[in-house]
Structure formats: structure tokens, C-alpha cells
Structure 1
């Protein structure tokens, strides 16, 4: 059971107004993991590695350490704040193919706790609760 601010562990379909937030690469080559799902089911565009596309939002995670990912996470949080009519389901961004851990990625989303329309994965929320 998930509360309204926790992203489900597995997402196969979206309700109206929901956006699937996934980790990408800057080139937008959505070949695996959540990126592949975003491309095949939620309108992510091949060749677009950043931002809103269809019913998904890409945050690049494959181009360096967390300090290089942070500006893209900040831009996403600002975007979500400006679009309160949408509900953003953040997946465990960076914790698959990119090779980061929730302990490394979750702190980037600390500001998201203040934004009512952003849902975070349970493991990110657990890390943030310990901070």
C-alpha cells in the first residue's frame, strides 16, 4: 500500500494528469530500464534526454556524478512546482543502469518534499527521513 506521496514500485499505466519521471541520458537513447518503459508506454521521445515529453519527464543521470545531475533535478522540481495540475511519479532515478544508490540520489530530491504534486520512491523517502 502506498500513500499519495509515494511512487508505486511498478508503474504500468498512468491516471489522468500523472507524469512518469525517469532517468535518462543526455542523448535521449531510451534503450533500457525506466527510460525504455517511458519511451514505449508514456511518450518519451527518442533523442530527447531532458524534460517533459508526452506523459513523461526525463532527468539525465548518465553524464557524471551527482553534482552534474543536481541542476537537472532542481529544474524538474521547479517545473513541478509551476505545474500543480500534474502529479509527478518519480522513479528510482539513477539507481538502475546509471549505478547510483538511493543514498546517493535521494538527497538531490530533498526540496521535492515541499512540493505536493511530487511523489518519491519509498527508498528515496526513507533516506530523506534520516537526513
Structure 2
């Protein structure tokens, strides 16, 4: 299977596509992908979580990685249910929030296998590497 990734710069979406971006709980979409979501894909000022227009907000500014995980899990549950949509996950948390790809990518391990979720290539590469490492450790 040929894996598809989230493009670096998304400027338009098909009708059933959803732009997944990192937000803050206050929904102040001032910069980064949040600003793109607000300007182009229907993100609502003052809404920091969930579906809004053709975008989906995952808050990343409220603490450590452990505070992001429940929101990612909620997103993955929605993506499973809304299987007619294609979700383009941006490098959430890796800009203004200051996390690394290595910290955030593992949160999306369950999304990796969903045919309707596109991850950034950096996230997918980390998930693949982690899975290979776990597999080899189990073999030893």
C-alpha cells in the first residue's frame, strides 16, 4: 500500500476533507496552522477544541504531552466514525507549542492505520520506527 501524507502547505481542501490543527483552549487562532484554519477552513474564534467548518482543533498549549493525548484520542474516535471524510493532520504542537515530532507523533499511533487519516511524513516515520523497534524487542 502506498502511504499518503499530509502536504507541507495546504491551501485548499475537497468538500469532504478536514484540516486538523493545533490550537489553544481559548480558541485564539492567531498563528501557525491555527491561523490557516481560521483564515481558510472555517475555524471559529473562541473555539479551541473539535470540529469547526472544515477544520478540527486539537489543543496543544495547556501543558505537557500527557494533556494533549485525550484530545488526540477524541479526534481518532471521530475519524473512525466519520470514515467518509479525509483528515489532514498538521504537525500539531510542533510550532508555537514547542514540542518535537518525537514527542507528538506517538500520540497518533492508532491513527496511523486509518485509511482516512493523513499524517505528516515526519510523524509517520517516527511511528514506523517505534513499531519496528517494539517488534524487534519482542523477538529478542
Length-normalised TM-score, structure 1: 0.96
- Count of residues paired in the alignment: 129
Partner in structure 2 of residue 55 of structure 1: 54
Could you tell which deviates more after superposition, 100-109 or 4-13? 4-13
Task: Return the alpha-carbon distance in structure 2 between the equivalents of residues 83 and 4 of structure 1.
Answer: 20
Q: What is the DSSP-based 3-state SS (H/G/I as helix, E as strand, rest coil) of the residue aligned with 1:6?
A: coil
In the alignment, what sits opposite 2:108?
Answer: 109
The residue aligned with 2:23 is 24
**Structure of greater relative contact order (alpha carbons < 8 Å, 6+ residues apart):** 1
Question: Does 1:34 find its partner at 2:33?
Answer: yes
Q: Residue by residue, what CA displacement relative to the aligned partner does 1:4-49 show, whole Å, maximum 9, x if unpaired?
A: 5310111000112100000000000000000001001000000000
Runs of at least 5 residues in structure 2 that lack an aligned partner in the other structure: 131-140
Which one is further off, 108-117 or 46-55?
108-117
Match of 1:95, SS state, is: coil
- Relative distance call for 1:12 and 1:35 in structure 2 (3 A) is same
Greater fraction of residues in helix: 2
Matched, 1:15 2:14: yes
CA distance in 2, matches of 1:69, 1:5: 24
Q: For 1:19 and 1:4, how far apart are their aligned partners in 2?
A: 18
User: Is the Cα contact below 8 Å between 1:7 and 1:120 reproduced in 2?
Assistant: yes
Computing the radius of gyration from Cα coordinates, the structure with the larger value is 2
TM-aligned CA distance change 1:4 to 1:14, over 3 Å: farther
Alignment correspondent of 2:45: 46
SS at match of 2:119: strand
Which is richer in strand? 1
2:129 is matched with which residue? 130
